[in-house]
Each structure stands twice: as C-alpha cells, then as structure tokens.
C-alpha cells in the first residue's frame, strides 16, 4: 500500500468553513492502492508548509496532495506551478501580510508540480465535474505551500501536487460547487496520480 498525505486548510478571510478541509475530511481512507493520511493545516505563511513537512518526515508519503479554496473559480483546478513569491491581499491567520517577498531567498523562481496535472484535470472533466489545469496558484498561502514542498522534495521520490477548489454552497458565494462533486473530483484525481 502506498501512502498519500492529503491536506485541507482551516477557514480564512472571515469564512466559517473551508471547503478544502470539508472535502478532504469526507474522502475514504483508501483509494487506488493509496492509504490516505489527512491533515488540516493553518492559513499561515511558512507554518502551513512546515506542518506538512513535519508529518511527511514521520510517515514518508509517496505523494503529498494539498487542497485549497480558490474563491472566484468555478472549477476544480490542479496547479501546474508554484512560484517563489509571497504577495497577500489579506493578512494570513497570524496577521501577516507580505508584499512582494521571496518564499526562499535566492531560491529558484518556480517549480512545476510533479503530479500529472493534465491527466488529472482531463479525468475529472471526463467524470463530469468542471476542471482545468491552472497556471497560477496565486501568491498567498496555497502557493507558499506548493512552492515550499516542491523545493523541499525536488530530486526525491516524493511527488507533490496542489488542487484548488471553488467555494461550496454553504458559503453563500458565487460561483460555488456542491461539496459532494468536489469529493468525487478529488477521488478521480487520486485515481489518476500515477501516469
Ligand atoms: N486558499 C488560500 C489559502 C488557504 C486556502 O484554502 C489560497 O488560495 O492561497
């Protein structure tokens, strides 16, 4: 059995819930030969990635897949790239609001995800949920996690990916997606982690 470390975020930006954790929490614990280890992580620059790495050091997962909310998007969007930039339009949950900072000073500008993002997006679409590859995870905490993990696990066997999902119905925002469809989409993603 392989191990998948899968994360969702706590709420942020005045929301009561974060659909990323709601969806991760609803996933079965075994999919496609992967045992899932679920982790709820803080919306805090630096700390979010550190909390993932701490658990990954213990359990040594084959894949780390992080899920985040992308308000304004209407589709499930696997991220192709993480960039070495922090720029926040709202403070994180620790009150920190960086403007045009590096995540890792002197680090590479960007890294590509080491998951088959095109295949994952196509498979989710084929299963009936809107999905497409995204070429920017933004410059907030989600990108912070993706870039930091890609840097930490470069040239290792551990593969890294990030998927943004829309608001869910309970948040009363548009556009939104039914949480059950997001769960279905994530299951399809996990079924397509291996090329
Ligand atoms: N979305 C934010 C951070 C936490 C989350 O769920 C983002 O896109 O950066």
Q: pLDDT by residue (tens digit) across 67-110?
A: 999 999 999 999 999 999 999 999 999 999 999 999 999 999 99
Q: Kindly state if the Cβ of 68 falls inside 6 Å of ligand 1.
A: yes
- The residues, any chain, with a CB within 8 Å of residue 182's CB and separated by 6 or more, are 19, 23, 76, 129, 165, 166, 168
Question: Of 20, 76, 44, 72, nearest to 144 (Cα)?
Answer: 44
Does the annotation mark 164 as catalytic? yes
| Residue 142 a catalytic site member | yes
Q: How far does Cα 27 stand from its chain's mean position? A: 15
For residue 141, give the ligand 1 atom closest to its CA. Answer: 9
Q: Closest Cα partner for 12 from 116, 94, 73?
A: 94
Q: What is the dihedral of CA 21, 186, 39, 101, to 10 degrees?
A: -80
Total count of residues recorded for the chain? 195
Q: Note the pLDDT tens digit of each residue in 134-190.
A: 999 999 999 999 999 999 999 999 999 999 999 999 999 999 999 999 999 999 999
Q: Whose CA is nearest to atom 9 of ligand 1?
A: 142
Residue 77 phi/psi, 5° resolution? -125, 100
From the candidates 22, 47, 66, 79, which is the catalytic residue?
79
Angle subtended by helix axes 19-26 and 179-191, to nearest 10: 60
Token look-up 């993480």 returns 82
Q: Kindly tell me the sign of the dihedral angle through the C-alpha atoms of 135, 140, 107, 117.
A: negative
Q: How far apart are CA 153 and CA 50, in angstroms?
A: 13
Provide the CATH number for the domain around residue 57: 3.40.630.20
The question of whether 79 is a catalytic residue gets the answer yes
* Structural domains in the chain (count): 1
Q: What pLDDT shows up at residue 195?
A: 75
Model confidence pLDDT, tens digit, residues 101-141: 999 999 999 999 999 999 999 999 999 999 999 999 999 99
- What mean pLDDT do residues 15-22 have? 98
- From 11, 20, 70, give the residue whose CB has the most ligand 1 atoms within 8 Å, as the site to mutate: 70
Q: Residue 129 phi/psi, 5° resolution?
A: -105, 140
pTM given for the model: 0.98
Query: Cβ(34) to ligand 1 under 6 A?
Result: no
What distances in angstroms separate CA 115 from CA 33, 78, 86, 104, 142, one per listed residue?
16, 9, 23, 22, 16
Q: Which domain holds residue 87?
A: 2-191
């Amino acid at each position: 059995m392989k191990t998948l470390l899968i994360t969702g975020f706590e709420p942020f930006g005045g929301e009561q819930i974060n659909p990323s954790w709601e969806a991760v929490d609803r996933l079965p614990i075994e999919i496609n030969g992967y045992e899932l280890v679920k982790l709820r992580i803080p919306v805090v620059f630096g700390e979010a990635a550190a909390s993932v790495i701490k658990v990954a050091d213990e359990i040594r997962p084959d894949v780390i897949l992080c899920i985040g909310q992308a308000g304004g998007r209407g589709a499930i969007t696997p991220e192709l790239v993480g960039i070495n930039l922090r720029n926040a339009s709202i403070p994180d949950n620790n009150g920190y609001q960086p403007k045009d900072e590096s995540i890792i000073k002197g680090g590479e500008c960007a890294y590509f995800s080491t998951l088959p993002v095109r295949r994952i997006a196509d498979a989710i679409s084929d299963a009936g949920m809107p999905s497409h590859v995204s070429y920017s995870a933004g410059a907030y905490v989600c990108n912070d996690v993706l870039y930091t993990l890609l840097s930490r696990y470069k040239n290792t066997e551990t593969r890294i990916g990030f998927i943004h999902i829309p608001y869910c119905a309970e948040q009363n925002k548009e556009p939104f997606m039914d949480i059950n469809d997001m769960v279905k989409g994530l299951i399809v993603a996990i079924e397509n982690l291996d090329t």
